[in-house]
Amino acid sequence: MGFEMNMYWAAVGLPVGLLMLLKGANLLVDGAVALAEKLGVSPLIIGLTIVAMGTSAPEVAASITAALSGKGNLAIGNVYGSNIANLALVGGMCALIRPLTVKTSVLRRELPVMLIVALLLFPVLADLSLGRIESVILLSIFIVLIVFTVVSAASESKAQPNEVRQVREHIHKTTCHGDKPLGKSIVYILLGLGGLALGAHFTVESGVFIGEWAGLSEAVIGLTIIAIGTSLPELMTCMVAALKGHDDISIGNLVGSNVFNTLLVIGTAGAIRPFGITARLIGTDYWIMIAVSAAFMIIAIFCKRIGRISGALLLTAYGAYMVYLFVFTPSV
């Protein structure tokens, strides 16, 4: 009877969680765009910071919980899987809906930083363990990057007043969000983040139960079910932003979330409780994450946008990765 009840709640939790994610994403995008207008900064900066941090909250919660339970494979697998899902699954789907234009500043600064940060994990995890000192170093790098991003945004806003004015005019022309008072914009963001957090919780809890029942390994559950579940806030937020024509929010969210996952999520989990990982997470799966990050950056640099063909290729790559995980290494 208990099993039937568990399966019942798992079946109910998935659609309920998805609906909460969709509503939360709408509120978050509306509030973020309005806040960017009020603060006089590019929506890209809001996407790289507030939106990215908010949509990465499920990854933080999931990885900390896994680390406290002594499940290091789950914690690291969640980050790898989420980073791959953000760029290949979320980026690919958004590009199919509407090609994403990538700003020059992102090509020159944010995308290379995203790849470099991912490469930093290799020496950190090469001994198949994550200690507190290494975790603190990752968190310190994260703080430096956030401060640098905010200071750079302030400098660019002062140096390019015409661009700031154009941003405000674009927001007023394309939406009515810029008319929201500052307090209301913040409330929208908080409600949106709350909806995303609760929605992700329902979907992840339901998905993990189903995965364990199906006999999947801890690493595969982290790389797939938990990774996709905790990436749903990014997916919903980016899809809503793409449909509303806010490419900066979409790109900023994708790039920012990957940086947050790599530094904040892994750093926090390891600082709370050091843990060990299996060799596969510094082998094939790690290099697949690096390859996807590099491919996304190369496409953006050469095309100056993520178009529909590129989006289809990214989705195909993600599908191939899922086949590899479920067919060839389901219990490893």
d(CA 284, CA 173): 47
- Looking at residue 85, which CATH number applies to its domain? 1.20.1420.30
Output the six-digit token pair for 74. 């789950």
Output the six-digit token pair for 93. 């789907």
List, for residues 73-120, the tens digit of each pLDDT value.
Answer: 888 998 999 999 999 999 999 999 889 888 887 788 889 999 999 999
192 sits in which H/E element: helix 182-213
Name the average pLDDT for the chain: 81
For residue 331, what pLDDT is reported? 66
- For residues 122 and 90, the answer to whether their CB atoms sit within 8 Å is no
pLDDT bracket for residue 181 (50, 70, 90): confident
Checking if the pLDDT of 15 tops 80, the result is no
List, for residues 285-311, the tens digit of each pLDDT value.
Answer: 999 999 999 999 999 999 988 999 999
Comparing 6-15, 55-64, 142-151, 287-296, the range with the smallest average pLDDT is 6-15
Helix/strand/coil (H/E/C) assignment for every residue in 102-130:
CCHHHHHHHHHHHHHHHHHHHHHHCCCEE
- For residues 77 and 288, the answer to whether their CB atoms sit within 8 Å is no
List, for residues 242-263, the tens digit of each pLDDT value.
Answer: 887 888 888 888 998 899 999 9
Count H helices, E strands: the chain?
A: 17, 4
- Structural domain count, the chain: 1
Percentage, residues of the chain above pLDDT 90? 33
pLDDT bracket for residue 162 (50, 70, 90): low
Query: Within 13 Å, how many C-alpha atoms sit on residue 320's CB side?
Result: 10
3-state secondary structure of 276: strand
CB atoms < 10 A from the CB of 304, how many?
Answer: 13
pLDDT bracket for residue 156 (50, 70, 90): low
Label the pairing between strands 275-276 and 305-306. unpaired
Label the pairing between strands 275-276 and 129-130. antiparallel
Give the residue numbers spanning the domain of 155.
2-328
pLDDT bracket for residue 1 (50, 70, 90): very low
